[in-house]
Amino acid sequence: MSSMKMMISRAAASRLLTGATRPADSAERGVTLHRNSFVSVRKMSKALTIDNINPNILKLEYAVRGPLVIRATEIMKELEKGAQKPFKKVIRANIGDAHAMGQKPITFIRQVLACVSLPELIDKGDFPEDVKQRARDLLDACGGGSVGSYSASHGIELIRRHVAEYIARRDGHPCDWNNVCLSSGASTSIKSVLQLFCNDLGGKTSGVMVPIPQYPLYSASLAEYGLQLVSYYLDEASNWGLSVDELERARGAALTAANVRALVVINPGNPTGQVLTRDNIESIIKFAHKHGLFLFADEVYQDNVYAQGSKFYSFKKVMTEMGAPYDELELASFMSVSKGYMGECGLRGGWVELVNVAPDVQANLYKCISAMLCPSVLGQAAVDCVAKPPAPGEPSHALWLREKTAVLDSLKQRAQMIADTFNQMEGFQCNIVQGAMYAFPKITLPPKAIEAANKEGKLPDVFYASRLLEETGISIVPGSGFGQYPGTYHFRTTILPQEPLLREMLDSFKTFHANFSKEFA
């Protein structure tokens, strides 16, 4: 990983040395650069250089896997090689990766995956009847009875039908399976739908309203596609709720620069952990309708609701029940097998339900994804298990329910423990983690710490998170990676380390913070 550091310093060097922003004579400058720079002298200038690559890619940032996380990986390697540190291991609280933090897979999902991967197990292996039947049904739905066949680009019809049934059960309203499109995790379909908005109508960039703080897939994808990010602030004081006044302000402020065409809402919230009330959802729908916005409902944490009195309402359900004219809103609702109680991030399974999308637009979206052939068929099989879990009375039901409940109960406890602990720490203020998998506390940093950060050329929250990592091995993501109200500092930590590890992490965090506060008092 030390090569990564070098790359970044070379990139910085390249910009420093050339001092140029215009790409016109880049080949020539490339040569000059290579001759003068501290890296090896090149005989040939490059076809693809930092000066002539896609400028949107340069701008793109994704803090959840950014420089601090790269540094965490380096530290892990240093520890493996026997380096002496004030800690024995890195705790990866930077990413919502449940299994990596010790959560066990749901048995039913894994038994089905084993059987569809190696179909001889269906008859030879010792599996419950519903596992075998599910594997047979899935294989029947695959070309040549193999998960090695391409599926349709929007996914296997059987699974799309099961997803539609799941949505209909969840909401109490019908769902047409033709509007369900399977994907490699939610990220892929979020990007595919976002990309549809690239159109500089009347010479103005299309704008997409995104909450601040936000999950940085949105800022990264908008940068990648050259779309305008239109920030609206979540209200930390009212547990990260959405205020319509703020939505109006944000839209109004963006209008001269952009055609504001879509609104992203993440519920339950990432990184903020709130669960929107039904009333709040209704106001958002009215706002979207009033301004003719397309709604992105990022609902991947729909199973992750912990706080008493909190309940998940899908945007689809609420707008359907609001009736005309709100039930005609264009909506894309995203779901994933990476989160919830299953935490199957590595399998890459997800879906989008498209509601009220113009049929010809939807046909074009399906056409576009067809060039990518299909999402992982094993990921789709996992989606099937999530959309249609073992039903009461079926042999796998009891175990499935026990495992699911245990995961969600434990997450609920951890959600509370982490917020309580932070709120006992001086200078910390942490909203209740009502849902999702993260706490996003606000920290008051002493002026001397901010000064020290400035000296190192770091943002204060990056400085804090960086010190935490180097001194305790705890990997978190600074609030600036998600966006935060100017002058405030936050960080995101997952609630995913299993309980003993989480206690250890919080103890270590407390000690660090006390020392840090003393040092910069």
Is 147 among the residues that bind a second copy (CB under 8 A)?
Answer: yes
Torsion sign (Cα): 92, 97, 102, 103: positive
Q: Which residue stretches of 107-243 are H helix? A: 107-117, 120-124, 129-140, 157-171, 185-195, 217-225
Torsion sign (Cα): 174, 180, 184, 189: negative
Torsion sign (Cα): 75, 79, 83, 89: positive
Is 146 among the residues that bind a second copy (CB under 8 A)?
Answer: yes
Work out which of 82, 144, 457, 487 binds a second copy, going by CB under 8 A. Answer: 144
Sheet holding 258-266, edge to edge: 180-183, 350-355, 331-336, 294-298, 258-266, 205-212, 228-233
Q: Please, what is the minimum distance in Å from the beta carbon of residue 132 to a second copy?
A: 14
Question: Per-residue string for binding with a second copy, 14-53, x by CB under 8 A?
Answer: x--------xx-xx--------------xxxxxxxxx-xx
Work out which of 17, 32, 117, 520 binds a second copy, going by CB under 8 A. Answer: 117
* Binding footprint of a second copy, residue count (CB under 8 A): 120
Work out which of 111, 214, 272, 472 binds a second copy, going by CB under 8 A. Answer: 111
Residue list 394-433, contact with a second copy (CB under 8 A): none
Is 205 among the residues that bind a second copy (CB under 8 A)?
Answer: no
Q: Please, what is the minimum distance in Å from the beta carbon of residue 104 to a second copy?
A: 8
Picking from 105, 107, 104, the residue whose alpha carbon sits closest to that of residue 498 is: 104
The Cα–Cα gap between 400 and 385 comes to: 11
Residue list 248-277, contact with a second copy (CB under 8 A): 261-262
At 482, the amino acid letter reads F
Specify the stretch interacting with a second copy by CB under 8 A; choose among 146-154, 166-174, 315-323, 404-412: 146-154
Is 357 among the residues that bind a second copy (CB under 8 A)?
Answer: yes
Q: Please, what is the minimum distance in Å from the beta carbon of residue 462 to a second copy?
A: 16
Q: Please, what is the minimum distance in Å from the beta carbon of residue 174 to a second copy?
A: 16
Is 154 among the residues that bind a second copy (CB under 8 A)?
Answer: no
Residue list 48-107, contact with a second copy (CB under 8 A): 48-50, 52-58, 60-62, 65, 73, 92, 95, 97-103, 105
Specify the stretch interacting with a second copy by CB under 8 A; choose among 109-117, 231-239, 425-433, 434-442: 109-117
Torsion sign (Cα): 68, 73, 77, 82: positive
Measured at the CA of 361, the angle between CA 359 and CA 365, to 5 degrees, comes to 115
Is the Cβ of residue 269 or residue 375 nearer to a second copy in the bound state? 375
The Cα–Cα gap between 170 and 211 comes to: 25
Residue list 278-297, contact with a second copy (CB under 8 A): 289, 292-294
At 138, the amino acid letter reads L
Cβ-in-10-Å burial (0-12, 13-18, 19+) of 397 comes to middle
Residue list 336-355, contact with a second copy (CB under 8 A): 342-348
Would you give the distance in Å from CA 287 to the centre of its chain? 25
